[in-house]
Amino acid sequence: MPAIVGADNLVYEIFEEDDGRKRIGRDLLRAVRKNKLSVAPERQDDLDKIKAYVSRLNLPDIYKPFTADEFSGEKEVAGGKFTLDERAAEIDFLRTKAERGDLTDKETRRASEILSSDQKDWRRTSAEVFHQRALRINDCAYVSVDILDVGVDLLREYEELIEKAAAAKDPQEVFLRAGDETTERLRQARAAVGEVYGKIYGKKAAGEMLMLVGGDEMTLALEAGDEKKLDQLLIELRRRVDGRVVKTAVGASERSSSSDWSEDDPKETDRRVREHLAALKRAERGAELCKIIEEQKRNLEMFLVQRFVSKGETPAKARRQADEVIEDLKLNDLAIKEKANGFMVLSGDYKELTVDMIKEAIVKVKIKHSE
């Protein structure tokens, strides 16, 4: 069974070539993982076998902050000139001195640096620092970046590890490395965000960048300032990082809390915190719009590949042709931004569009290639 046809008439390749090896198809894996694939009754048995296979791959969906070598103490942590054992010893030393009340000024600064950094990525701000400083920005923009297909890549990584473990003398050693590739991918994504930010706002601003680190997502908080610069940030992030990019904001003119807010005023503090959390929460609505566009784009890509193959092209050439069509439609560089009247889609050429406009453009392409 080289392929399976869904109820949507799209063809899902069961296996793909990946570095000379057969791997379960990415589109198929994504659809099965999200339970979005249904088939005709005569293919249900095939689908059940695929689901059973995926369920066997589905080890804990956990994003490790460190690699196996870093956990073992054999390698310095990325972004820091220390091992985890050395960092733990330093923290114990500082804690003991703090309890005795005899920290030096240098040690106090060092303790502050450690407490201010995220424990998953020492180069980023801690959640406490992020929220505290973001609250103080009167005209605050929040940029959320959600890395795409991390769960799918993790399953494919597990698939490869299971094969290696079956042939290994020490399977446990192999499984300890589960998720290492995903850990590195997430680090690279966070580093890319920092590079883009520095390119647009300068090196000094990049060093002070507020980033809230999650599992496969991150959020920036910054002064909204120049809208053109902010738009550039959104598009450049979308081009460098394979993820959903959503901007929400709490503009100074939209705040119910006072612009000269003080932490000493509990009522104003409560208003400010609510505005802050609401803006972070609204990013989820923007992400839902991204998902709608992504699904439309994937369906278009699969449709085009099928059409080109039916006309005699090889699958590899059909995919290249489909990619060219999608590139012409500028579907690869889209970001979502919040405006006063709701969410808009920002295209790679900085035009503001609606989701319906994108859907209409996709329908026209399908009609054109159906002829």
| Residue 130, pLDDT above cutoff 80 | yes
The string over 49-77, giving b where at least 16 C-beta atoms fall within 10 Å of a residue's C-beta and e elsewhere, is ebeeebeebeeeeebbbbbbebbeeeeeb
- CA-to-CA distance for 15 and 27, rounded, in angstroms? 10
Q: Which helix (H) or strand (E) holds 182?
A: helix 180-201
- Least confident among 4-8, 224-228, 270-274, 285-289: 4-8
Q: Identify which of 205, 43, 183, 177 has the alpha carbon closest to the alpha carbon of residue 121.
A: 183
**Mean pLDDT, rounded, for 312-333:** 89
pLDDT band at 256 (very low <50, low <70, confident <90, very high): low
Q: What is the mean pLDDT of residues 273-294?
A: 92
Structure tokens at 180: 């290492």
Range 243-267 average pLDDT: 74
Residue 264: the pLDDT is: 74
For 292, how many CA atoms within 13 A lie in the half-sphere containing its CB?
A: 15
What pLDDT does 252 receive?
A: 56
Q: What is the pLDDT of residue 232?
A: 96
Residue 274, helix vs strand vs coil: helix
Strands (E) located in the chain? 3-5, 11-13, 15-18, 21-24, 140-147, 210-213, 217-223, 243-250, 335-339, 342-346, 352-353
pLDDT of residue 259: 61
Q: Is the per-residue pLDDT at 24 higher than 90?
A: no
* Residue 261 confidence (pLDDT): 67
pLDDT in tens, 200-253: 999 888 888 999 998 889 999 999 888 999 999 999 999 999 899 999 988 655
pLDDT digit string (tens) for 51-64? Answer: 888 887 766 566 78
Radius of gyration of the chain (CA): 24
> What tens digit of pLDDT does each residue of 102-128 get?
999 999 999 998 889 888 888 889 999
> What share of the chain in percent tops pLDDT 90?
40
**pLDDT recorded at residue 206:** 87
- At residue 255, the pLDDT reads 62
CA angle centred on 178, ends 32 and 68, rounded to 5°: 160
pTM for this structure? 0.85
Per-residue pLDDT band at 267 (split at 50, 70, 90): confident
Greater pLDDT, 192 or 5: 192
What is the structure's pLDDT at 347?
92
- C-alpha span between 77 and 83 (Å, rounded): 6
Average pLDDT for the chain: 87
